[in-house]
Amino acid sequence: MSTYAIGDLQGCSGALLQLLDVIGFNRRRDRIWFVGDLVNRGPDSLATLRLVKDLGDNAVTVLGNHDFHLLAVAAGQAKKHRSDTLDDVLAAPDRDELLHWLRQRPMFHVEGTWAMVHAGLLPQWSIAQAQALGHEVENALRGDDWRVFLARLYGDKPDSWSEELRGPDRLRVIVNAMARMRFCSAAGTIELHTKGETADAPPGFFPWFNAPGRASRGHTLIFGHWSTLGLRLRPDLLALDTGCVWGGSLSAVRLEDRRLFQVPCKQYQRPGR
């Protein structure tokens, strides 16, 4: 049995099918971990959702910011953006089934010394704490009031974690860190506006994985979300967003031996749109 971690799909089902062929995926024995952002900006969000859902227990998927955006648009709690490519999902006959399935996905996944999140973890969060905080969001998203949760989700404030946070503010910080963050301060203040490379960090901020004193060290963190960062393979992290939707590649790493597999992707959108 092999386990493969795969970067952001963003509706590029064709590239995913090619990559599964390249790695020789066998659903009788292999598993796939997806870092989130299954949908949006690529050409086939509907086909991608159906494909990953059909993998059943062979797939583990954490939620990304584009996945949240789809759910919020479908719930009437967010407006579509000009660059969105979600209409096929929203008009699908199995729309409700797919959205229900997406709402059941975790925020954070841990097995052994591996941990997977879409964007990042704040430096003061241990792996155990991040699991517990992820469960708080999952419970809200899976509950009867999930539309109310999404209505209160969006915003950049508060921008720092505190155990004293409650209600929507608490959940918003958790989601912003796990699904949107690239840079943060050593004290855990989230910076959400800079999207460039690590050298573009504003004064006093670090790429979240380089923040001093990060409590999640000891696990290898698998994440996506950061296409300008590109592929980073270190003993303590696997950064797998290699810009498939921008004309880069779709990447997979086999966790057992860290072997890298990639397929080239067509460019469906240009950065900045």
| Digit-coded pLDDT (tens) for 223-243 | 999 999 999 999 999 999 999
Cα–Cα distance for residue pair 7/268, rounded to 1 Å: 16
Q: How confident is the model at residue 112 (pLDDT cuts 50, 70, 90)?
A: very high
pLDDT of residue 267: 84
Q: For the residues 142-152, what does the mean pLDDT come to? A: 96
Cα–Cα distance for residue pair 31/51, rounded to 1 Å: 14
Cα–Cα distance for residue pair 80/101, rounded to 1 Å: 21
Q: How confident is the model at residue 272 (pLDDT cuts 50, 70, 90)?
A: low
Q: For the residues 202-211, what does the mean pLDDT come to? A: 96
Cα–Cα distance for residue pair 213/184, rounded to 1 Å: 12
Q: For the residues 90-97, what does the mean pLDDT come to? A: 98
Amino acid, single-letter form, for residue 229: L
Q: Estimate to the nearest angstrom the gap between the alpha carbon of 148 and the chain centroid.
A: 22
In 7-158, at which residue ranges do the beta strands (DSSP E only) sit?
31-34, 59-61, 108-111, 114-117
> What fold characterizes domain 3-264?
Purple Acid Phosphatase; chain A, domain 2 (3.60.21)
Q: Are 10 and 42 in contact (CB under 8 A)?
A: yes
**Is the pLDDT assigned to residue 273 strictly greater than 70?**
no
For residue 152, give the DSSP letter.
T
190 is written with which tokens? 């989230």
219 is written with which tokens? 């696990």
% of the chain at pLDDT higher than 70: 99
Cα–Cα distance for residue pair 36/29, rounded to 1 Å: 22
Cis peptide before 158 (omega within 30 of 0): yes
| Backbone conformation region of residue 192, classed left if phi is above 0, alpha if psi is from -120 to 50, else beta | alpha
Angle between helices 167-179 and 127-142 (to 10 degrees): 120
Q: Are 49 and 39 in contact (CB under 8 A)?
A: yes
Q: What is the pLDDT of residues 19-52, one digit of tens each?
A: 999 999 999 999 999 999 999 999 999 999 999 9
- Give the start-to-end residue ranges of the domains of the chain: 3-264
